[in-house]
Amino acid sequence: MTDADRTRRVLLIRHGQTAWSLSNQHTGRTDIDLTPRGEQDAAALAGLADRIGLCRPYVIASPRRRAQRTAELAGLHVDETSELFAEWDYGDYEGLTRLEIQRDHEPGWTIWTHGARGGESVADMTRRVDAAVDHVEARLPESDVIVVSHGHFSRSFICRFLGWPITQGAAVDLRPAGSALLAEPDGDRRLSELRGPEGYWASAASI
């Protein structure tokens, strides 16, 4: 099979568990370490690219320590680190849970509908993720791509790669140390598979 004939694929990996992901606190700029469970789950990702047969994967990671450590434990050599692939900037809501934000600041708030006060709006995030998608697309003729990043970023990336509004990310479930495989067979983009930290792969059509 020539490069022109191969199915182009993007593997998104969310960093492993942190204390704040465990407590559902929004973690954007805060540079926080993985928990022991997070390190264990990240290490379990080792060899995943080979198991699913990625072609010469080029690895891009968020600059945050939790993403860099996840890549390291997964045995991935990071080719590029970029703020384009950082988590949503939660602004005034950094470190707060959704319930706290709804109770104390904005009833009915979600990141997908309201954005973050003092941080990135939905439009801001859409523009940044679109730039990240363009950046990845530029690599795909040469190789598959692995992105090690964050929950809301990865869910947003899935939406924009597939041409969906970013708000559809609310319907995508990506757990810490989980991953999502995007594929482009014959130019037809799809969310091919989702994986949880337990190592279970499921067809996206069944979720």
Intra-chain end-to-end CA distance of the chain, in Å: 31
The pLDDT value recorded for residue 204 is 41
DSSP codes of every residue in 42-109: HHTTTTHHHHTT-SS-EEEE-SSHHHHHHHHHTTPPP-EE-GGGSPP--GGGTT--HHHHHHHT-TT-
Q: How far apart are alpha carbons 45 and 76 in whole angstroms?
A: 9
Residue 105 has pLDDT above 50, yes or no: yes
Q: What amino acid is encoded at 163 in this protein?
A: G
User: What are residue 148's DSSP bridge partners?
Assistant: 13, 61
- The reported pTM is 0.92
pLDDT band at residue 2 under the 50/70/90 scheme? very low
Q: What is the mean pLDDT of residues 174-185?
A: 93
Catalytic residues: 15, 87
Alpha-carbon distances, residue 53 vs 56, 77, 186 (angstroms) = 9, 17, 18
